[in-house]
Structure 1
Amino acid sequence: MRVTLEEGRALLRSSPPPRPAGASSVLVDIELAGLCRSDLKEVAGARHGPSQFGHELVGRVRTSTVAGLTEGTRVVLDPNVRVDRGTGFADRMWAAGPPALLRQALQPVPDGLPARRLVFAEPLACAVHCLRVAGRRAGDLAGAAVTVLGAGTAGVLIAALARRAGARVTLGNRGHERVAAVRRTGVAGTDVHAFDRLPDRSADVVVAATSFVVPAVLDVARRILAPGGLLVLYGGTAPGDRHPGLDCDLDALRRSESVSALSWQGRPVRVAGSYGTAEEDFDAVVRLLSDREDPLAAEALVSAEVDLEGLVSLLSAAAPLPPGKVLVHPDPR
Structure 2
Amino acid sequence: MNGVAYRRIGHRDGVAYLERARTGRLTDQPARVVIAPLVVGVCRSDLRELDGTRHLRRDFGHEIVAEVRYSTLADTLPVGRRVVLDPHPVVRRTSGFADLVEIEGTVADVAAALRPVPADSDPLAALFTEPLACAAHCLARVDAVIAATAHARPSPVAVVGAGIAGTLMAGILRSRGTEVHLVNRGGQRLRFLAERDVLPGVDLHPADRPGRGGFACVVLATAAATGAALELAAGLTGDDGVLMIYAGTEPGSRFLGQDIDAIRRGEGRVTVHDGRRRMHLAGSHGATAADFAVATRLLQDRREGPALRRTVRRLIDVEAPLDEGPALLREMVSRPYVGKAVLTPGVPDRG
Question: What TM bracket, shorter-length normalisation?
Answer: over 0.9
Say whether residues 1:325 and 2:340 are aligned partners.
Answer: yes
Output the CA distance in 1 between the equivalents of 2:47 and 2:10. Answer: 13
Question: Percent same amino acid among aligned pairs?
Answer: 37
Output the CA distance in 2 between the equivalents of 1:126 and 1:148. Answer: 15
Aligned partner (choices 54, 57, 62) of residue 50 of structure 1: 57
- CA contact under 8 A between 1:17 and 1:86: conserved in structure 2? no
Q: Give matches, 1:94-243, under 5 Å.
A: 94-139=102-147, 142-189=153-200, 190-243=202-255
Aligned partner (choices 261, 272, 276) of residue 271 of structure 2: 261
Structure 2 residue identity aligned to 1:206: V
Please give the per-residue CA displacement for 1:74-125, whole angstroms capped at 9, x wherever unaligned: 1001101111111110010011111111111100000111111111110100
Quick one: structure 1 residues 122 and 104, their matched pair in 2 at CA, closer, same or farther if it must change by over 3 Å? same
Residue 14 of structure 1 is matched in structure 2 by: 20
**How much has 1:321 moved relative to structure 2?**
4.9
Residue 302 of structure 1 is matched in structure 2 by: 316
Give runs of ≥4 in structure 1 deviating > 6 Å: none
**How much has 1:143 moved relative to structure 2?**
4.7
Q: The residue matched to 2:342 in structure 1 has which SS?
A: strand
Q: Give matches, 1:65-80, under 5 Å.
A: 65-66=72-73, 67-80=75-88
Quick one: structure 1 residues 46 and 58, their matched pair in 2 at CA, closer, same or farther if it must change by over 3 Å? same
Flag structure 2 segments of 5+ consecutive residues without an equivalent: 1-6
Aligned partner (choices 69, 81, 106) of residue 89 of structure 2: 81
Q: The residue matched to 1:132 in structure 2 has which SS?
A: helix
Output the CA distance in 2 between the equivalents of 1:141 and 1:68. Answer: 41
Quick one: structure 1 residues 37 and 148, their matched pair in 2 at CA, closer, same or farther if it must change by over 3 Å? same
Q: Could you tell which deviates more after superposition, 54-63 or 133-142?
A: 133-142
Quick one: structure 1 residues 166 and 83, their matched pair in 2 at CA, closer, same or farther if it must change by over 3 Å? same
Q: The residue matched to 2:21 in structure 1 has which SS?
A: coil
Quick one: structure 1 residues 138 and 311, their matched pair in 2 at CA, closer, same or farther if it must change by over 3 Å? same
Aligned CA-pair RMSD: 1.7
Residue 252 of structure 1 is matched in structure 2 by: 262
Flag structure 1 segments of 5+ consecutive residues without an equivalent: none
Residue 287 of structure 2 is matched in structure 1 by: 277
Count of aligned residue pairs for this structure pair: 330
Output the CA distance in 2 between the equivalents of 1:306 and 1:178. Answer: 21
**How much has 1:142 moved relative to structure 2?**
4.5
Residue 70 of structure 2 is matched in structure 1 by: 63
Q: Normalising by structure 2, report the TM-score.
A: 0.90
- CA contact under 8 A between 1:304 and 1:322: conserved in structure 2? no
